[in-house]
Structure 1
Amino acid sequence: MTHSSVNADPAELAKFSELAHRWWDTASEFRPLHEINPLRLGWIESMAPLAGKQVLDVGCGGGILADSMARRGAQVLGIDLAKKALRVAQLHALEAGTPNVQYREVAVEALAAEQPGAYDVVTCMEMLEHVPDPSSVVRACATLVKPGGWVFFSTIHRNPKSFLQAIVGAEYVLGLLPRGTHEYMKFIRPAELASACRAATLDWQATRGLKYNPFSGRYWLSDDTSVNYLVATRKP
């Protein structure tokens, strides 16, 4: 299947493939992902305990979240279309001896057609703002999860504050992320994501904001969803 026929931006895939070998370097561009991962993992587990569950991580990249969910006892499949990042994820799982985690190069829409209702938990973190059609990803995630199952998203709000913090601050001033990581017009307002979830028959359960203090270098979850935010939804 060519990338032109799937819901992916070839430039985005190339961007993450370029950096693939650095996914598990905690001092690299991916350091923020390593630092926020315990927060994301803890929040997911507070609502959907992972042990013994079938879990899908959509847009898994180098496997940071997928690997940690497998270590909590879940049977995890990580999917992505960035081939090099997946190879890094597979290699890390082998080297670290992570049980119960597999990786596949497949579009989420294609997997939804193949395995509807197969997963207890679906996570899609930091991905929606990188695809041409986010609502298509939301629909596919809703198809993949079992009735009563959970779907978790995280993305970035679109407003002047998020432009200043997530692009100007994070990419240009603080250098937390490579320049060009994000495009402002691809950011997603919570109301837009809520609408996509409603259309996909996912019930909106909870929202949390992710905050960062550049002076202490500390991340934490808060009620402020004006920049980075996480959403928990559930299939009826």
Structure 2
Amino acid sequence: MTAASEKTSSASASVDPAEIAHFSAMAATWWDPKGPFKPLHNLNPTRIAFARDSLCRHFNRDPKDAEPLQGLRILDIGCGGGLLTEPMTRLGATMVGADASEKNIKTAQAHANDMELDIDYRNITAEELADAGEKFDAILNMEVIEHVADIPSFLTACHGLLKDEGCMVMSTLNRTAKSWIMAIAGAEYIMRWLPKGTHDWQKFLKPSELSRALRSTGFETLDLKGMVYHPLSGEWSLDDHDFSVNYLILTEKKQDG
């Protein structure tokens, strides 16, 4: 498959056609817990817990409620096959899942239909959504920013998509020797959990770099947590001090002016 065969917007500066083509080629395997997205399936409980608790704290909700996100309109940008979009829907949120890959969106919509979940999936970019005047209470921006071509353009679009005092939950990879060993050498070449070329270590962002990029586009960082992998159990946990591989950020839209 070539990048030209995948539907994307040429006006969207943040879209990297090679990245879209790479993930489109794996679209049918999103929901296979033993397939190429096995690392995301393992990571998902920790990502969901951080997103739920952060959003509940930000919007003064009780995370113990059955549907604590009821009434919130949330965008899952770069939603892939919907691994986060579906759980957030079950938590009560009105979800819009957006992805620049048409194949990803078709996979996500088919799975949501099978699960009888009402999710608004769209083959669209952040810039296109912002240009259309869409507004959200919150954005999930998980394992996306390390794949975009133009970070300032992407973050500016995300800022425009949020309502005043809206927030964004992000997760990405730190650019360290340990992240290269685990995310690329280990996951792609040794364990073969991911296809070779899934990640470009040079595009990983240190927390200080991401915080600076967020600040320059009108965001304020509210929380930062590391994610630590436990090889014996195959599970992940949050950590207040270890950001050496994966980390999560909660950030809030600053008021204009």
Query: Under TM normalisation by the shorter chain, which class is it?
Result: over 0.9
Structure 1 residue 222: Cα displacement? 1.2
Distance in 1, matches of 2:250 and 2:80, equals: 21
Structure 1 residue 35, shift from structure 2 partner: 2.0
Note if 1:192 corresponds to 2:198.
no
Task: Indicate the residue corresponding to 1:132 in structure 2.
Answer: 149
2:84 corresponds to: 65
Q: Say yes or no: does 1:33 pair with 2:40.
A: yes
State how far apart, in whole Å, the 2-side matches of 1:5 and 1:202 are.
Answer: 24
Quote how far apart the aligned CAs of 1:4 are.
4.0
Contact 2:136–2:166 (CA<8 Å) still a contact in 1?
A: yes
**Residue 53 of structure 1 corresponds to which residue in structure 2?**
72
- For residue 152 of structure 1, the aligned residue among 147, 150, 169 is 169
Residue deviations 1:138-170, cap 9 Å, x none?
Answer: 111111111111111111111222111211112
Task: Give the CA deviation at 1:214.
Answer: 2.5
AA in 2 matched with 1:108:
A
TM-superposed CA distance for 1:189, in Å, is 1.2
Partners of 2:171 and 2:185 in 1: how far apart?
Answer: 20
Once the two structures are overlaid, the 10-residue window that deviates more, 206-215 or 58-67, is: 206-215
The alpha-carbon deviation at position 188 of structure 1 amounts to 0.9
Aligned to 1:168: 185
Specify every segment of 5 or more residues in structure 2 that has no aligned partner in the other structure, as ranges: 1-6, 57-68
* 8 Å Cα contact 1:29/1:178 also seen in 2: yes
Shift of 1:181: 0.7
Tell me, what secondary structure is at the counterpart of 2:84?
helix
Query: How far is 1:115 from its partner?
Result: 2.2
Q: Are residues 1:23 and 2:30 paired?
A: yes
The corresponding residue for 1:107 is 125
* Count of paired positions: 234
Residue 106 of structure 2 is aligned to residue 87 of structure 1: yes
| Consecutive aligned runs of 4 or more in structure 1 exceeding 3 Å deviation | 1-5
**C-alpha separation between the residues in 2 aligned to 1:216 and 1:25?**
19
Amino acid at match of 2:222: Q
SS in 2 for 1:5: coil
- Answer yes or no: is the 8 Å Cα contact 2:76–2:139 preserved in 1: yes
Q: TM-score, normalised by structure 2?
A: 0.87
- Native 8 Å contact 1:3 1:10 kept in 2: no
Q: Distance in 2 between matches of 1:20 and 1:147?
A: 34
- 8 Å Cα contact 2:43/2:235 also seen in 1: no
| Cα distance per residue 1:86-119 (max 9 Å; x no partner) | 00000011110013x1111111011112125x11
Whole-Å separation in 2 of the counterparts to 1:17 and 1:67 = 19
TM-score, scaled relative to structure 1: 0.94
Q: 1:175 Cα deviation (Å)?
A: 2.0
State the SS of the aligned residue for 1:136: helix
Identical positions, percent: 41
Distance 1:57 1:135, change over 3 A: same
- In structure 2, distance between residues paired with 1:73 and 1:2: 30
Kept in 2, the 8 Å contact 1:56–1:121? The answer is yes
Name the residue aligned to 2:223: 206
Alignment-mate amino acid for residue 104 of structure 2: A
Residue in 2 aligned with 1:5?
A: 11
